[in-house]
């Protein structure tokens, strides 16, 4: 069965801190995605990656960066956290380019104080 693991379910950080959110998958999927989910806004794509060391901006990349040094791990980085980045963050994976459904992790609820 597909398994997408996000390192933390809940995280509290302070304004200005550098924050790392980690996502690990065990299915050898090429594609990985980071979304943020906010009430009334649904899921919005931050960044995605189609291969190791490859990354593409999504719809709302400002204030974020990503790293994919290994196929199974995709990290989302908040370079200098701000309160408006308080949100639920969801990682997803997808095999090939395909039309199969994305597989999601449980999410990380991040609070920036």
Closer Cβ to another protein, 85 or 108, answer by number? 108
Cα dist. 32→1, 62, 108 in Å? 17, 18, 16
Q: Which residues, in sequence order, are bridge partners of residue 92?
A: 33, 104
Residue ranges in contact with another protein by CB under 8 A: 9, 33, 35, 40-45, 48, 50, 56, 88, 90, 92, 94, 97-107, 109
CB 105 to another protein: min, Å: 7
Residue 16 CB, shortest distance to another protein, in Å, is: 27
Return the number of the residue (26 or 56) whose C-beta is nearest another protein.
56
Distance between CA atoms of residues 86 and 100, nearest Å: 30
Q: Which DSSP string do the residues of 25-87 spell out, in sequence order? A: ESS--SEEEEEEEETTTEEEEEEEESSTT--EE-S--TTEEEEEEETTEEEEEESS--GGG-E
Taking the complex as a whole, the smallest distance from the CB of residue 100 to another protein amounts, in Å, to 8
Of 35 and 64, nearer to another protein (C-beta) is 35
Would you say 69 or 97 has its CB closer to another protein?
97
């Amino acid at each position: 069965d597909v398994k997408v693991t996000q390192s933390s379910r809940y995280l509290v950080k302070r304004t200005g801190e550098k924050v790392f959110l980690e996502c690990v998958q065990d299915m050898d999927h090429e594609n990985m995605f980071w979304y943020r989910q906010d009430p009334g806004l649904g899921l919005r794509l931050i960044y995605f990656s189609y291969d190791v060391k490859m990354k593409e901006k999504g719809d709302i990349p400002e204030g974020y960066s990503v790293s994919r040094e290994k196929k199974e791990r995709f990290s989302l980085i908040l370079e200098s956290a701000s309160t408006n980045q308080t949100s639920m963050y969801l990682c997803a994976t997808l095999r090939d380019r395909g039309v199969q459904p994305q597989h999601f992790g449980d999410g990380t609820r991040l609070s920036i104080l």
